[in-house]
Amino acid sequence: MDINEKSFALGSKRSIIREIFEYSKTRAGEIGADKVFDFSLGNPSVEPPAEVDKAIKELLLTESATALHGYTSAQGDLAVRKAVSDNINSRFNLNLTPDYIYMTCGAAASLSICLNAVVNKGDECVVFAPFFTEYRVFVENAGAKLIVSMPEEKTFQINVSDLESKINENTKAIIINSPNNPSGVVYTEKTIKAVCELLERKQKEYGKVIYLIADEPYRELVYGNVSVPYLMNYYANTLVCYSYSKSLSLPGERIGYVAVNPQMQNAKNVYLAVCGAGRALGYVCAPSLFQRVILKCINAKVNVEAYEQNRNLLYNSLCEYGYECVKPDGAFYLFVKSPLESATAFYEMAKKFEILVVPCDDFGVSGYVRIAYCVDKKRIENSLPGFKKLAEILIKK
């Protein structure tokens, strides 16, 4: 074939989430959207904060259209990068300057950029199961090998001894995603400290840098008093991949950033490699209008309480019916042990009750499904009788 085989294979590969989404649309046409309980997509159900709407309107009225829709510098508008670095500094007690911020099209672009900035062919990158499935695509496309570290049983925290067994002289980076998609787990400070101590030790042992890539699109979505350790404060060689997709409910606008820790080894060169990777991948000049929106809305927040109410309703109900669930402290996913050995078999059975969940084998942990509860609360309420019946059939108490 006269095209790129790898890209062809990737484009043709069946995506279970896309398949469920298509099925959901067809089924909604047949029986009505209110009768289909689709929990497959991580699309925010909470509206962006009012400040976002106001900022867009103001910008359209007050700024010249050519400036507003024109190119910014490749790494992003200076004032926007300054707002981002000031925001990080004030929240996490750091000293970043705009020279360490690169505006991107969301966390997906941030991850691709960071990986392409630091890995060379033959390097390995460790991810923690369960993991966002796109990591495999991003890591392999950057030329590295994906290595999966298995979690602690039940808590789904990072298993530090398993991680140790996965690190060798080829390890170039690890990706930490907390709050986690698909488990909803927030890694504790104790876990983070243990991971960072291990990385420091391994860097010394192998006489090389191991980068920590923090994938943080869900940082702001946490419940109760849970706090998410800011990794630059624990480990110098950290790059942060941030996104406003979930924190401001703007996934379609494609806006986020990469922050390079100025304290890391050769920080200036790493930032230049980030700029170079952005250039090579075509991720230059993140959407101009939304860069300006971020400048005006840097402290805005979505209504996290709505997600917390959904979490409480779903988690409490499913536990009561006998399902084994991982309690999510953040993000908007519930990770549930499939009552059948095969998560796909459970997915098929739930479908008969018009409930659409995602079997998680591709996330690196078999026998679990993911329920995205970023939906209208009514959908959860109306789905509960179906979940209850499924439990009565499948779970022996």
Contacts to ligand PLP by CB under 6 A: 42, 106-108, 132, 177, 181, 215, 217, 243, 245, 251, 256
Task: Report how far apart the first and last C-alpha atoms of the chain are (Å, whole number).
Answer: 55
- Residue 177 vs 288, nearer CB to ligand PLP: 177
- Residue 237 vs 245, nearer CB to ligand PLP: 245
- Residue 257 vs 346, nearer CB to ligand PLP: 257
How near is the Cβ of 277 to ligand PLP at its closest, in Å? 16
- Residue 326 vs 390, nearer CB to ligand PLP: 326
**Torsion of Cα atoms, 5 then 8 then 14 then 16, to 10°:** 110
How near is the Cβ of 247 to ligand PLP at its closest, in Å? 9
3-state secondary structure 138-171: HHHHCCCEEEEECECCCCCCECHHHHHHHCCCCE
Distance, in Å, from the CA atom of 283 to the CA atom of 241, rounded to the nearest integer, reads: 14
- Residue 184 vs 339, nearer CB to ligand PLP: 184
How near is the Cβ of 110 to ligand PLP at its closest, in Å? 7
Residue 222 DSSP one-character state: B
Q: Judge whether 260 and 271 are in contact, CB under 8 Å.
A: yes
How near is the Cβ of 241 to ligand PLP at its closest, in Å? 7
How near is the Cβ of 374 to ligand PLP at its closest, in Å? 10
- Residue 211 vs 387, nearer CB to ligand PLP: 211
Distance, in Å, from the CA atom of 188 to the CA atom of 158, rounded to the nearest integer, reads: 9
What residues have CB less than 8 Å from 159, skipping those under 6 apart?
149, 150, 151, 152
How near is the Cβ of 245 to ligand PLP at its closest, in Å? 4
Residue 120 DSSP one-character state: -
Residue 366 DSSP one-character state: T
Distance, in Å, from the CA atom of 300 to the CA atom of 377, rounded to the nearest integer, reads: 23
Distance, in Å, from the CA atom of 326 to the CA atom of 333, rounded to the nearest integer, reads: 10
- Residue 128 vs 132, nearer CB to ligand PLP: 132
Residue 209 has phi, psi (to 5 degrees) of -85, 135
- How do beta strands 368-372 and 333-337 pair? antiparallel
Q: Which residue's CB comes closest to ligand PLP? A: 106
